[in-house]
Amino acid sequence: MVDPETGERLDDGLVLWFPAPRSATGEDVGEFHLHGSRAVLAAVMQVLGRLGLRVAEPGEFTRRAFLNGKLDLLQAEAIADLAAAETEAQRRQALRQLDGDLGSLYRGWSQRLTRILAHLEAAIDFPDEDLPPEIEDRILGETERLIAEIERHLADGHRGERLRDGIMVAIIGPPNAGKSSLLNKISRREAAITSPIAGTTRDIVEVAIDLQGYPVVLADTAGLRDSEDVVEREGLRRTLRRAEEAEIRLFVFDARCPEEARGAAAWPGPDTILVANKVDLLRSPEAAGRAVMPGLDPGIHGDTSLGQGVNGRDKPGHDEGGTQERVVPISALTGEGIDALLSALGERVAHTYRIEAPVLTRARHRQALEECAQCLRRALGACLPELRAEDFRLALRSLGHITGAVDVEDLLDVIFRDFCIGK
Ligand code: GDP
């Protein structure tokens, strides 16, 4: 590679030429493979600058690919997700979206909606001829089916979005049960801590971990106890809210304390793993079992025999990954039982988040689909065909916003802002 003005040699390298339209962006693309040192880069960039070229903005390649029809918006977002993926499950979800499954689903709905609209508009254009009742029935029937499909798709428990953002696991329990110690133990033990989360409240400390390929955010919360103290009460309120919002709860209690064990057993909600902590303070695992047995109803909690079969896996006919509550004995001090707890948690997470069908991954998509369903419901109740047609057009527009099939200029800056340079 030489400077065209001075003839000075800049580097030896390889140039790949991808002619339009069969390049990633759909434009002519030249790729230089150089000895990427700062000096080589500076010299080459300087020459290229003189030729009127500039460095790409973050996300610019993907944006151009989208504008040239190489990708839909969902695929462009999938590239951002793939670049940001920290765990296996996130990588797989992003790749699935990049394959275009989600786009195909929404385009299929758009096509059906377009057909409905075409039928209706034909009827409006010929007002003298009444719409045959069977066509009216077909329009209404198809609209109802579409609404049902969209609603089913929306009722996915936010799994795709959670997989993108991290699955929330709240550590709750009475004060001094060992919640913070447990969080510390897990965060030090897990080799693959993905990132500490900044900006948490004073009462809730969060740590992001990679649990068997799934992104999990563990939140340590204030202890559950009645208090007159205003600050403590606020902490408790936040704890309860976090516990409610979390997908899974780890209820930690002192294994020596039947009172706390009873409190744990009474905690409502199916996705709760009971954690009997401080077993090192008991003489033996058998003693641990006896210590908590009085507080637990063996009828509900299938596995209260703390010494063995922590996860119920030894049991025939065990409901794999189901919502049955179990007790896992641990010591946050010595680390005993932590692996069994992580594997119980991992099983629960994998059971819920093993995703096969295309799922929603962003609040943006959810909002557009909710709007779409709302327009369709309004269309069903519309008293004039013209109003009904307008509702169908608005529903189509909402769907088009997701894939970028309608004008989304105002959205693009927001979507591509999060990309990194070179994508
Ligand atoms: P939290 O209020 O639930 O967050 O409880 P902490 O993690 O602050 O623990 C309360 C006290 O119990 C601390 O003094 C810990 O060192 C102690 N502790 C926590 N876990 C264990 C354990 O497994 N064994 C023993 N012996 N002490 C523990």
How many whole angstroms from 94 Cα to the centroid of ligand 1? 40
pLDDT score recorded for residue 317: 33
How many whole angstroms from 321 Cα to the centroid of ligand 1? 28
pLDDT score recorded for residue 140: 92
- Is 332's C-beta closer than 6 angstroms to any atom of ligand 1? yes
- Is 187's C-beta closer than 6 angstroms to any atom of ligand 1? no
Does 125 have pLDDT greater than 70? yes
As a whole number, the mean pLDDT across the chain is 81
Does 419 have pLDDT greater than 80? no
Does 306 have pLDDT greater than 50? no
Are the beta carbons of 197 and 206 closer than 8 angstroms? yes
Specify the higher pLDDT residue, 406 or 350. Answer: 350
Percent of the chain clearing pLDDT 90 (strictly above): 42
- Is 177's C-beta closer than 6 angstroms to any atom of ligand 1? yes
pLDDT score recorded for residue 259: 83
- Is 223's C-beta closer than 6 angstroms to any atom of ligand 1? yes
